[in-house]
Structure 1
């Protein structure tokens, strides 16, 4: 059962494929489960603000006012429209997105907590720690210790002799009594 105001992408694709004159490209492959379960809100402005949030969340201070200006809406109107369609405030949505991305980095990278906080758009690591703990009832460091599986691999950025970014190196965590890391692959 779907929430009021949601249109299931799968239904839209199905209808489009049944339209007269539709031709399936030879390169077509079935969409993943994640894609077919995606929802679009009936108000296209909500879809647009969600896209903007996903594009801009790492940039630090992203405000309701900035998003509203990009959509030519008042902050009040955007706040009420977003809440009506999604059941969440814009800022709550942004915060949860940042924490979800941080959660992924905590278990898949060797970046410090401070680097992860900055990567997902927090200007102050104390704010990041507070928001993370509010959602998970533990600090980011404790989350990492509990969830960093021995079989995980993670990527570490590399720099060349001049300090410029030179791709990433993929490492595997060793679970044989030590925490030695061995390089597996290098990506440019």
Structure 2
């Protein structure tokens, strides 16, 4: 069953699309409706959403900005954009952000149904009980295996032999592969393959994972995939100046999103667990061996944190003597990170539009790692903690002041009193007006 979030500042459009989809027989579970992007973000943070249907122009935060935030929260969420504008720039930006369709208002029922059906059918291919390693997977990936000579050269490049000069020259000469960058990063993936699998099946799954990695990372940058072992692979990413600029002000968010999306897609399509290591992004091809080493080092933290799967090198404070932090040092680092995050939240929870990524920036770790640490150390989801603070303060204001509901909503970070009322009732089981009485 798929859950859908519909976002439009015109309630009648939300209701119309919802009613149409509810009786469509498309295997839809929950349908959520939001009337601005801030409301939509709450649903994305707190509910399982598979498909986002969003308008573009919605006031303070546009649908395109919502798409960017949605990809950071849940990279695998599919999106359909609806708009009253046929502007090429809007459509181009929406497609670049991963929109599966761009529908122009006024909408026809057939148009919406066909678009939603296509997206859900495509997503449903990986939801079937037999969608893991099966004849279908074998059919999808029965292709010519990547040239071992090319992979060997990429491994030489990663190892930094002779500065990688000879490997780079051979890659350019034999395969037309040039490392232009100038920005580079490396991702490593260790597949958790079942012991009972034969060699052919193991190779096939490794190849399928390499294809998934190439498809995901090849959007917005050049990606080169190579095997690093019988159940492991690497991806060398490179961005030119314009591609690098398009990553936005916080480049690590995009890399973090890619790593989580890669892990999620391998698990969903191949039914395999995987450990993903992410390097930093550095300028200059001479850093490629160092980046590969960083990604490998990051992934090794799975031994210390076995309930986590995606590791970014920059999340760990490496000592000056280059040894990996001890268990005690790591625990101290993590406690300090969570305490810093809690302080940041207490200082900013009333801010409209506060996001996990802003809190992560304020605590100097990736959003993925902060989310993991916060839940591990406090037992609660980070956004649930934000909501709890907002609800406690709103309850105090309701009981101790004569402020109106819209004034209280604004003071605790909500864009609309209606949405504030929904969140309050969900948290306390009664509405603000019932509490006031």
Q: What TM-score bracket applies, with the shorter chain setting the length? A: 0.5 to 0.7
C-alpha separation between the residues in 1 aligned to 2:414 and 2:382?
16
1:102 aligns with 2:423: no
Matched, 1:144 2:431: no
Indicate conservation of the 8 Å contact 2:398/2:436, yes or no: yes
| Structure showing greater relative contact order (alpha-carbon pairs closer than 8 Å, 6 or more residues apart) | 1
Counterpart of 1:86?
378
Structure 2 CA distance, aligned partners of 1:102 and 1:129? 10
Which runs of structure 1 show a deviation greater than 4 angstroms over 4 or more consecutive aligned residues?
none
Could you tell me how far 1:61 is from its partner in structure 2? Answer: 1.2
Note the alpha carbon deviations across 1:126-153, whole angstroms, 9 max, x for none.
22111110111111011111xxxxxxxx
TM superposition shift of 1:42 = 6.8
Structure 2: tracts of 5 or more residues without a match: 1-332
1:21-65 per-residue CA deviation (whole Å, 9 max, x = no partner) reads xxxxxxxxxxxxxxxxxxxx9701111111111101111111001
1:118 match: 410
Q: Residue 69 of structure 1: CA displacement?
A: 1.1
Residue of structure 1 aligned with 2:345, choices 53, 56, 59: 53
Distance 1:90 1:124 in 2: 22
Of 427, 434, 437, which aligns to 1:135? Answer: 427
Give distance in 1, aligned partners of 2:420 and 2:345: 17
Alignment of 1:12-91 (within 5 A): 43-91=335-383
Q: Secondary structure at the match of 1:122?
A: coil
State the Cα deviation string for residues 79-123 of structure 1 (Å, max 9, x = none): 000000001111000001000000000000000011001011111
**CA–CA distance in 1 between the matches of 2:413 and 2:389?**
10
Secondary structure at 1:94 match in 2: helix
Higher helix share: 2
Q: How many residues align?
A: 105
Contact between 2:334 and 2:373, CA under 8 Å: does it hold in 1?
Answer: no
Between 122-131 and 96-105, the greater mean CA deviation after superposition:
122-131
Secondary structure of 1:73's match?
coil
Aligned-residue Cα RMSD (Å) equals 1.5
